[in-house]
Structure 1
């Protein structure tokens, strides 16, 4: 395996792991917001919800 193939393979793995992390974060947020928060699970994707969360954290 050449160096460029190794770098490309490593880059694909890193991007895949980051993408899986983002997907799992969204799924976890939807479960938490929908089940524990008694809201619409898709409501967590609305910008207003994230503004409220960020204001709460600050």
Structure 2
């Protein structure tokens, strides 16, 4: 959904750029709606994706 690695995801959550997880037992869960709302509010970018390996 987001296209970033786990360490980047955790860093964005810690920095408050992404929502905090919900807890269910010993699991951390994120609500899709909260992630989508957060992502919709990010600024748009003119950066192109990195080239794929050939």
Query: How high is the TM-score relative to the length of structure 1?
Result: 0.35
Which structure has more helix as a fraction of its residues? Answer: 1
Which structure's CA Rg is the greater one? 1
Higher relative contact order (CA 8 A, sep 6+): 2
| Structure whose residues are more often strand by fraction | 2
